[in-house]
Chain A
Amino acid sequence: MKLLEYEAKEIAKKYGIPIPQGILIERPEQVNEAIEELGLPVVLKAQVPVAGRGKAGGVKLAKDPDEALEKAEQLFSMEIKGYPVLSVLVEKAENIKRELYLSFTIDRANRRIIMLASGEGGMEIEELAKEKPEAIIKLPIEPEIGLKAHEAREVGKKIGLSGNDLRQFEHIAKSMYKIFIDYDAELVESNPLAITDRGLVALDFRMIVDDNAIFRHPELEAARERELTETEKVAIRYGFFYVELDGDIGIIGNGAGLTMATMDVVNYYGGKPPNFLDIGVGARRDRVKAAVRLLLRNPRVKVIFVNIFGGITLASEVALGIVEALKETEIKKPIVARIVGTAEEEGKKILQEAGIPLFESMDEAAKEAVRIAKEVAA
């Protein structure tokens, strides 16, 4: 779950990391009050939970009040990678001498936490990683000891810091590592971490917190809700996983791997799914019913393809869920099903009686779904 910049910065501040003075606004005209308090020039930053905000035009500098209002209005009318801008962080512009990069994340392959630092921070950091990997210093961290002060300092020297900047870098790195541990983070990142007139300042600060650890951080629940579309919220309520896409063949599968494979098969035969819908492990009829209704109501969906491999999930429960959803909704759409596994015979019987075409292989079912989608479209 991604925190917004201002939320992450509140945490940074609590841990003693220098950040620019800033005020969050929720309407463009509030920018004037912010300027009165902060002074000019200011930086206006759209609060959206995505990377690449700067490149997408979500960060703007303003030198006078008119320009600030105009740019605030622009930002509030924007949508960045699917997220409408609902709030803007107004910050006092800092005098930047140099931009650094510093982050902590999990190195999956080596099963450990790793610190990444570079003397060349800024928007092009991923390009830098590809073209000049030696410019990014990687420091693996021993979990029993945590970030070692002297190693943080050594990294600081490697990226060209000395004197007070070096001492401050060590302090910021230690604070970021502490945040990483305390908040069950998957990422804590400052890009850029700038050298300014008043020393090192985290101009940007981002955090991703592990969704599985939310039970230890109930205060962050609201942040998770915000990342979801309305339909995705319905999905969470019923306990399935749902991602919206473009396309017209609605797919319901069980298990992420099988659902992704079902999408691959539909694509292979020339179709296009409008969603990823995984009913998860051991789904009962209510969950299946909610899933089918969701796809029936989606105007893009022309045909629904249900592909279930029952292990813990009972095919009969899935079949009952489908049939009940069809009975209770006015909207009629063709359904193609392929059901294998636990309680397979019973499930097939229920679907046959409801007149739903059944297929033995997912390939045959996918071909039929593609054929129907083309027929309905024509």
Chain B
Amino acid sequence: MVVLVDENTKVVVQGITGRYGKFHAEKMMKYGTKILAGVTPGKGGQEVLGVPVFDTVKEAKEKFPEINTSIIFVPAAGAADAIIEAVDAGLELIVVITEGIPVHDSLKAIRYARNKGSVVVGPNCPGVITPGKAKVGIMPEKYFTPGPVGIVSRSGTLTYEIAYQLTKRGIGQTTAIGIGGDPIIGLDTVEAVKLMDQDPETQVIVVIGEIGGDAEERLAAAIKRGEIRKPVVAYVAGRTAPPGKRMGHAGAIISMGAGTAESKVRAFREAGVPVADIPSQVPDLVEQVLKK
């Protein structure tokens, strides 16, 4: 078994006629991902890359009941509506690539999806790849190879960098999930790591965090409580980044001092998670864990 996407993933691409959506739909198909349909309102009846385009996700699902996943390339102003549409069509997994979605829109759409039982990955994320099986995302696939490491990351290009360094060292990956960099996201760090934890093929989980929010601190707490059995290795980007120019106190009160790189690194170390100072140390730490 692998996490979230595999050879049974059947995809509809929302926003398939746009330049960006079409470009990546083609790359996903070449990788072997089963894309059955596209959706662009007003362009129903057309054909793109050999797949039919529909006006609504519901129509696509009626024609191809096996569709279980959507990937969204719709522009920011309409992306929340696109998520809600995919939820109403009963899709299990919705990967949102779009960046710049207003946070109030994300709040509504993601809450709706969770209440109805759909998993949202993103927004503002590179997607999910299960090397050798399926890619529902925009990552450059050649740097990912099959193997025992699960990757959970808040970043895009940094995920590619770390997958590349692992692959160069001969260490492949079960699945890499880019959960997205927005303040409000669907599947969060803890949930993604728990999926990896339940996957029998994943032996080590690499978590790539960054400053801001308290996702890493919450993961460290879950590890301390014994909720995650598998070994975790972490890197937190932004140790030397400037503190954000912020105003108001509410954010600081909610996060209670979380959010800085120091806070995250300390939380991981206290939970017994080895933390890399720089990305090139990640393969070393993974190798040490695999040898044990």
Among A108, A212, A264, A312, which residue has its beta carbon within 8 angstroms of that of B238?
A264
How many angstroms from the CA of A322 to the CA of B139 in the assembled complex? 24
Q: For A169, list chain B residues within 8 Å (CB).
A: none
**Are A51 and B241 touching (Cβ within 8 A)?**
no
The CA of A341 and the CA of B157, in the complex, are separated in Å by 10
Stretch at the interface among A69-77, A129-137, A195-203: A129-137
Bitwise, A88-116 to B at CB < 8 A (1) or not (0) is 00000000000000011111110111101
Known: A129-B252, A210-B102. A260 touches B238 (CB 8 A): yes
Number of A-B contacts (CB under 8 A): 184
Query: CB distance B279 to A311 under 8 Å?
Result: no
Give the interface SS of chain A, mostly helix, strand, loop or mixed.
mixed
Task: Please give me the residue from chain A that is nearest to B277 by CB atom.
Answer: A268
Interface residues on A, range: 35 or more
Contact yes or no, B278 A268, CB < 8 A? yes
Residue of B nearest to A206 (CB): B248
Q: Is the CB of A106 within 8 A of B183?
A: yes
Taking the nearest CB of chain B, how far is it from the CB of A49, in angstroms? 6
> Which residue from B157, B215, B239, B248 sits with its C-beta under 8 Å from A208?
B248
Question: Do A257 and B237 touch (CB < 8 A)?
Answer: yes
B154 interface hit (Cβ, 8 Å): yes
Chain B residues, CB < 8 A from A276: 241-242
Cα(A253)–Cα(B246), bound, Å: 24
Residues of chain B within 8 A (CB-CB) of A340 are 161, 164
Q: How far is the CA of A311 from the CA of B164 in the complex (A)?
A: 12
Contact flags B246-258 to A (C-beta < 8 A → 1, else 0): 1111111110110
Contact code string A323-358 (vs B, CB < 8 Å = 1, else 0): 000000000000000001110000000000000000
Contact across chains for A257 and B158 when beta carbons are under 8 A apart: yes
Is B76 at the interface (CB under 8 A from chain A)?
Answer: yes
Of the listed stretches B37-45, B58-66, B105-113, name the one at the interface; the rest are far from the partner chain. B105-113
Most A C-beta atoms less than 10 A away, residue of B102, B139, B208, B218: B102
Which of B235, B253, B280 has the largest number of chain A CB atoms within 10 A? B253
Q: Mark B119-160, 1 if CB is under 8 A from A, else 0.
A: 000000010000000000011100100000000011111111
B103-A258 in contact (CB<8A): no
Tier of interface size on chain B: 35 or more
Which residues of chain B (73-109) have a CB below 8 Å from chain A? 76-77, 99-105, 107-108
Tell me, rounded to whole Å, the shortest Cβ–Cβ distance linking A63 to chain B. 29
Would you list which residues of chain B between 237 and 291 have a CB under 8 Å from chain A? 237-242, 245-254, 256-257, 277-280
Q: How far is the CA of A190 from the CA of B265 in the complex (A)?
A: 33
A-side contacts of B181, CB under 8 Å = 256-257
Is the CB–CB distance between B138 and A261 below 8 Å?
no
Report the bound CA distance from A276 to B251 in whole Å: 23
Is A309 in contact with chain B by the CB < 8 A criterion? yes
Bound Cα distance from A253 to B279, whole angstroms: 15
Report the bound CA distance from A257 to B66 in whole Å.
36
Q: How far is the CA of A295 from the CA of B150 in the complex (A)?
A: 38
Determine whether B6 belongs to the interface, using a CB cutoff of 8 Å to chain A: no
A269 to chain B, nearest CB (A): 9
B247 contacts A208, C-beta separation under 8 Å: yes
Given known contacts A108-B184, A309-B157, A363-B280, A206 and B111 CB-to-CB distance under 8 angstroms:
no
**Ordered nearest first, which 9 A-B pairs have the shortest CB separation?**
A257-B155, A255-B157, A257-B158, A213-B102, A105-B250, A258-B157, A260-B238, A129-B253, A260-B237
- Chain A contact residues, CB within 8 Å of chain B: 2, 49-51, 81-82, 103-109, 111-114, 116, 125-126, 129-130, 133, 136, 138, 143, 181, 184, 186-187, 189, 191, 206, 208, 210, 212-213, 215-216, 227, 243, 245, 253-258, 260-261, 263-268, 273, 276, 281, 309-312, 340-342, 361-363
Provide 14 A-B residue pairs closer than 8 Å at the C-beta atoms, listed in order of the A residue: A105-B251, A106-B107, A109-B214, A125-B249, A129-B249, A129-B252, A130-B257, A210-B102, A255-B155, A257-B157, A258-B157, A264-B239, A276-B241, A281-B99
